[in-house]
Amino acid sequence: MTMIRADGLGKTFRVARRRPGLLGGLRSIVDPEVRMVEAVHNLSLSVERGEMIGLVGPNGAGKSTTIKMLTGILVPTAGEMRVAGLNPVRQRRELAGRIGVVFGQRSQLWWDLPLIDSLLLLRHLYRVPETRFNTNLAQLCSMLALEEFIDTPVRQLSLGQRMRGDLAAALLHDPELLYLDEPTIGLDVVAKARIREFLLAINAERGVTVLLTTHDVDDVEMLCPRMLIIDHGRKLYDGSVADIRERFGGERTLMAVMDFAELAALPHDDEGHPILDDLPDGVRLLRAEEPRIWLNFSRDSIPAHELVAWLGARYKLHDVTFQEPEIEDVIRRIYEQGLLLKQLSGHLA
Amino acid sequence: MIENMLSDLRLYLHLLRMQWRAQSQYKMNRAIDIGSYFAVTSLEFVGVLVYFGPFPSMLGWHVGEVAMLYGVMSIGFGFAELFGAGIDNFQDTIRLGEFDRVLLRPVSSFVQVAGSDFRLRRLGRISQGCITFVIALRLLPDLHWTLAKFIALLLGIASGSVLFLSVLLLGATLCFWTIETTELVNILSYGGRDMLSYPINIYNQAMQRFFLFVIPLAFGSYVPTCYVLGRPLPFGLPGEAVFASPLVALAFALSAGAIWQFGVRHYQSTGS
């Protein structure tokens, strides 16, 4: 069953420019100078129930605008959408009872009160029946280990504890769909790992559909089989994390441990690197720290095993390892070189 | 419908209890706050009294009568401030982006905003109003009380609270469009309060009409006070008009509520 369906979603903000000074301020109210800013453009998306999907993009890419539209707190200027079978704009309140939302940078907990008070109040804000609330609370308490700080005022919690509290707060009413906007921002490694483990568990055990935005590509790699890359409000990529590495990974690196004496006997270039004669096309020596050498090669030029065979046939080879490109580097390349944009426009043309 | 209203009311009380508990964390602060607010509002009243140094009466209103008017207005406005603090602070809710969170919950946005703050310091104004009222009674020993007058007074104060609350709500609604012009609304709410500290017959006709028929704040203080004092109302309104105060307040509140709903929709379509 489809949880989220969006067709050609777009959002153009009217941004009024303020004129300076008091009179200018008054004039801006009566006769605003308006500029149109397109935050999201023609975004289509379909998410099945139980999926876990990551929304990746640089600041200002339109991630938060997209999430806000999908929750119904922002009305799109173009396109159609259905979330959990509802129209988010017209059925916002009904939808609100069926989704959970966590903004990593903005807590929904009451600052001055113990965590438990916020959770109890949320029972009333979401009208959760008492028995169901108690079961959920007990379960979330143990999964997130809330007991140790549930009676502490929220203002005294660490960032990681607060995030755990916010996750519990967003899940008390059994939402089918959880939106997470930067859930691991500012957290240390241990806290991040804990949050990720929890998200995997609720996705697996409760079947909660999760859509998260993040800067941290590790989040996507560890949590989401599927990712969406957006930039300048446009969808650049929608597919699996493995696939994007495959398609846009560019160059891989082979690290080979050679025989020290043999390598030393080779002629060296000006930079002191050994010269390997007639390397196959598309392969180049990246660096050398004898007896180790790093060879860069593109996926298209030569299969990895052939490169190993080529080396083995000519030199004494002690060991080889491959280094896959970091997904983060891959995404950076996509942004910088506009890889997908080119492909996209090629597609359209 | 009725059930929804009850459950909204319960939710509102829960929200207030949370605010109470949060503020109880700083007990000393709270006591000082109420005390200083009492002092400030008392000074405002002294400001009104200063007039009666050189002049014996204000267009026929004696000091005791003005004190009664001031007391009635203060109590009504005090309750509006007490329960409407969340509405009064709405510009901060918008500015900090917290209204998004309000929209993400399956309950009335109005109840959530109204329950987002509760200022006990406002008890300072209510107690000042009560004291002023008692002083007024001392200054008016010949005043003849009837059951009708007593009821008119209670209805008037309740209507006054609702009317001031509605004005605050209208001001909050403006924040959906701009948070830079909220001073305009303060002119209406706080300016209205200050102007209604005096009998409105000292103002010109247009102003009197404004406070009776456009923003009918006079129904919360001036009209019931005139009834209690047996004074005529402007424009030949019968004194019994006071018993229409709740209807006037209700109609005004419903209009303000409708404008608020319109504002919520506007906010959604323009975004953060």
Q: In this complex, which of A13, A96, A113 lies closest to B271 when CB atoms are compared?
A: A13
Does the pLDDT at position A76 exceed 70?
yes
Beta bridge partners of A226: A53, A240
Predicted local confidence at residue B181, as pLDDT: 63
Mutate to test the interface with B, among A112, A115, A176 (most CBs of B within 10 A): A112
> Cβ separation of A121 and B268 shorter than 8 Å?
no
Could you tell me how far CA B139 lies from the centroid of its own chain?
Answer: 25
Flag the least confident range among A38-47, A263-272, B82-91, B246-255: A263-272
Chain B residue numbers with beta carbons less than 8 Å from the beta carbon of A127 are: 7, 106-107
pLDDT bucket at B7, cuts 50 / 70 / 90:
confident
Give the torsion sign (CA, A301, A306, A310, A312): positive
Give the residue on A whose Cα is nearest the Cα of B267: A74
> Cβ separation of A96 and B180 shorter than 8 Å?
no
Mutate to test the interface with B, among A27, A68, A73, A152 (most CBs of B within 10 A): A73
Residue B127, C-beta contacts closer than 8 angstroms, at least 6 positions apart? B38
Q: Are B98 and B267 in contact (CB under 8 A)?
A: no
User: Is A25's Cβ below 8 Å from some Cβ in B?
Assistant: yes
CA distance A70 to A4: 8
Does the pLDDT at position A115 exceed 90?
yes
Does the pLDDT at position A301 exceed 80?
no
> Cβ separation of A126 and B106 shorter than 8 Å?
yes
Chain B residue numbers with beta carbons less than 8 Å from the beta carbon of A103 are: 101
Residue A319 class from Cβ within 10 Å (0-12 exposed, 13-18 middle, 19+ buried)? exposed
Domain chopping of chain B, boundaries? 2-265
User: Is A23's Cβ below 8 Å from some Cβ in B?
Assistant: no
> Which residue type, as a one-letter code, is found at position B162?
V
C-alpha distance from A301 to closest chain B C-alpha (Å) = 49
Q: Are B172 and B113 in contact (CB under 8 A)?
A: yes
CA distance A84 to A174: 13
- Identify which of B87, B248, B56, B43 has the alpha carbon closest to the alpha carbon of residue B175: B87
Predicted local confidence at residue A339, as pLDDT: 59
* pLDDT single digits (tens) A329-340: 777 777 776 655
Could you tell me how far CA A64 lies from the centroid of its own chain?
Answer: 12
> Cβ separation of A125 and B178 shorter than 8 Å?
no
Does the pLDDT at position A347 exceed 60?
no
Mutate to test the interface with A, among B6, B104, B109, B181 (most CBs of A within 10 A): B104
- pTM for this prediction: 0.80
> Cβ separation of A75 and B97 shorter than 8 Å?
no
> Cβ separation of B271 and A74 shorter than 8 Å?
yes
> Which residue type, as a one-letter code, is found at position B206?
A
Chain A residue numbers with beta carbons less than 8 Å from the beta carbon of B269 are: 74-75
Interface of A with B in 77-136 (CB under 8 A): 89, 92-94, 96-97, 99, 101, 103, 106, 108, 110-113, 117, 121, 124-127
Average pLDDT over residues B184-194: 81
Beta bridge partners of B257: none
Predicted local confidence at residue B75, as pLDDT: 95
Could you tell me how far CA A258 lies from the centroid of its own chain?
Answer: 39
C-alpha distance from B191 to closest chain A C-alpha (Å) = 20
> Cβ separation of A74 and B112 shorter than 8 Å?
no
Interface of A with B in 125-184 (CB under 8 A): 125-127, 153
CA distance A306 to A309: 5
> Cβ separation of A92 and B268 shorter than 8 Å?
yes
Predicted local confidence at residue B232, as pLDDT: 87
> Cβ separation of B14 and A92 shorter than 8 Å?
no
> Cβ separation of A93 and B106 shorter than 8 Å?
yes
Joined tokens for residue A160 = 């990681």
CA distance B76 to B196: 12
Joined tokens for residue B211 = 């406070």
Which residue is associated with the tokens 């009333």?
A124
Give the residue on B whose Cα is nearest the Cα of A100: B104
User: Is B7's Cβ below 8 Å from some Cβ in A?
Assistant: yes
Average pLDDT over residues A274-296: 83
Quick check: helix, strand or coil at residue A202? helix
Does the pLDDT at position A349 exceed 50?
no
What beta strand segments (E) does chain A contain?
2-17, 33-48, 52-56, 78-83, 99-103, 177-181, 209-214, 226-231, 234-240, 251-258, 283-289, 292-298, 317-323
Give the dihedral of Cα atoms A126, A131, A132, A136; nearest 10 deg.
Answer: 100
Query: Which segments of A34-158 does DSSP mark as H helices, in order?
Result: 63-71, 92-96, 115-125, 130-144
Average pLDDT over residues B105-127: 88
CA distance A241 to A224: 8
Q: Are A325 and A249 in contact (CB under 8 A)?
A: yes
Which residue is associated with the tokens 């959990």?
A84
Average pLDDT over residues B237-253: 92
C-alpha distance from A202 to closest chain B C-alpha (Å) = 21
Q: Fill in the DSSP letter of residue B53.
A: T
Does the pLDDT at position A104 exceed 70?
yes
The mean predicted confidence, pLDDT, of chain A is 86
Quick check: helix, strand or coil at residue B152? helix
pLDDT bucket at A346, cuts 50 / 70 / 90:
very low
C-alpha distance from B182 to closest chain A C-alpha (Å) = 13
Where is mean pLDDT largest: A137-146, B35-44, B110-119, B187-196?
A: A137-146
Q: pLDDT exceeding 70 applies to what percent of chain A?
A: 93
Flag the least confident range among A122-131, A177-186, A291-300: A291-300
Q: Are A36 and A12 in contact (CB under 8 A)?
A: yes
> Cβ separation of A127 and B106 shorter than 8 Å?
yes
> Cβ separation of B269 and A92 shorter than 8 Å?
no
Other residues' Cβ atoms within 10 Å of the Cβ of residue A44:
14
* pLDDT single digits (tens) A187-228: 888 899 999 999 999 999 999 999 999 878 788 888 999 999
Average pLDDT over residues B14-42: 83
* pLDDT single digits (tens) B49-67: 887 778 878 878 888 899 9
Joined tokens for residue B50 = 């200063």
Does the pLDDT at position A166 exceed 90?
yes
Predicted local confidence at residue B38, as pLDDT: 84
> Cβ separation of B106 and A94 shorter than 8 Å?
yes
Predicted local confidence at residue A232, as pLDDT: 85
Mutate to test the interface with B, among A69, A75, A90 (most CBs of B within 10 A): A75
Q: In this complex, which of A75, A96, A101 lies closest to B106 when CB atoms are compared?
A: A96
Quick check: helix, strand or coil at residue B244? helix
Predicted local confidence at residue B96, as pLDDT: 85
Q: In this complex, which of A29, A101, A110 lies closest to B178 when CB atoms are compared?
A: A29
Q: Fill in the DSSP letter of residue A57.
A: -
> Cβ separation of B21 and A92 shorter than 8 Å?
no
pLDDT bucket at A82, cuts 50 / 70 / 90:
very high
Q: Are B174 and B188 in contact (CB under 8 A)?
A: no
Q: Are B253 and B165 in contact (CB under 8 A)?
A: yes
Q: Which ipTM value was assigned to this complex?
A: 0.81
Chain A residue numbers with beta carbons less than 8 Å from the beta carbon of B180 are: 25
> Cβ separation of A125 and B18 shorter than 8 Å?
no
User: Is B100's Cβ below 8 Å from some Cβ in A?
Assistant: yes
β-pairing verdict for A317-323 and A283-289: unpaired
A267 vs A77 pLDDT, higher one: A77
Residue B70, C-beta contacts closer than 8 angstroms, at least 6 positions apart? B45, B48, B129, B132, B136, B197
C-alpha distance from B31 to closest chain A C-alpha (Å) = 18
CA distance B116 to A43: 36
Does the pLDDT at position B204 exceed 50?
yes
How far are the Cα atoms of A97, A253, A309, A322, B69 from residue A317, in angstroms, in the given order? 63, 16, 10, 14, 100
- Identify which of B88, B252, B65, B233 has the alpha carbon closest to the alpha carbon of residue B159: B252
CA distance A77 to A9: 8
